[in-house]
Amino acid sequence: MGTRPVTDQSQFNERQIKRIFYRRLGTAVWVSFLAAAVQTMIFFAQFDPAYLNEIASITISIDRWQGYALGFVFFWLFSFITGLFCGVIMALPRTKLAQSIRQES
């Protein structure tokens, strides 16, 4: 599917721009959710959260369930941030560079 950035927003109205934004945000949330699920599975198959809690430098005590959940949220958050940045970087700023790229294609 296309991911070419919207460089020239003049052809869209406010509502459409909002939709595009929410669509991209939703994509990042959903895809990072899937990615986090896989990461959690692989990671915790190797490392026991109870043990990690023992050797961690943070001194809060968590049980395994909380460990799994925390790990999942952590992976989700960071994957989401990655996705978000991808989106931001991909949408070229409205500069001369973006203009020229757009005209080329």
Partner 1 sequence: MSTQDTRPVELKLYKAHEKVYPRETKGRFQFKRKLAVFVLLGLFYLLPWFDWGGHQAVLFDLPHRRFYIFGLTLWPQDFIFLALMLIIAAFSLFFFTALAGRLWCGYACPQTVWTEVFIWMEQLTEGNRNKRMKLDKGPWNFNKIWRKTAKQFLWITFALWTGFTFVGFFTPIKELAVNVVTWNLGPWETFWLFFYGFATYGNAGFLREQVCLYMCPYARFQGAMFDKETLIISYDEKRGEPRMRGKTRREAENPGDCIDCTLCVQVCPTGIDIRDGLQYECIACAACIDACDDVMASVGLPKGLIRYTTENALEGKKSRVLRPRILIYGAILTLLVSSFAYALLTRSSIDANVIPDRNSFYRIVDAQRIENVYNLKIMNKGSQTAHYEVSAIGLDGLAVDFETDDGVLSAEPGELISVPIRIRADRSVANKKIHTIKVVVNEVDNPNNKRTETVKYFGYDK
- Interface positions with partner 1 (CB under 8 A): 1-4, 6, 11-12, 16, 19-20, 23, 30, 34, 41, 45-46, 48, 63-66, 68-69, 105
Residue 55 has which token pair?
């050797």
Question: Smallest gap, in angstroms, from Cβ of residue 39 to partner 1?
Answer: 13
The token pair at 62 is 């968590």
For partner 1, the closer of residues 56 and 63 by Cβ is: 63
Residue nearer to partner 1 on the CB measure, 1 or 57 = 1
Helix axes 64-90, 14-46, angle to 10 degrees: 140
Query: What sections of 5-95 are H helices per DSSP?
Result: 14-46, 49-55, 64-90
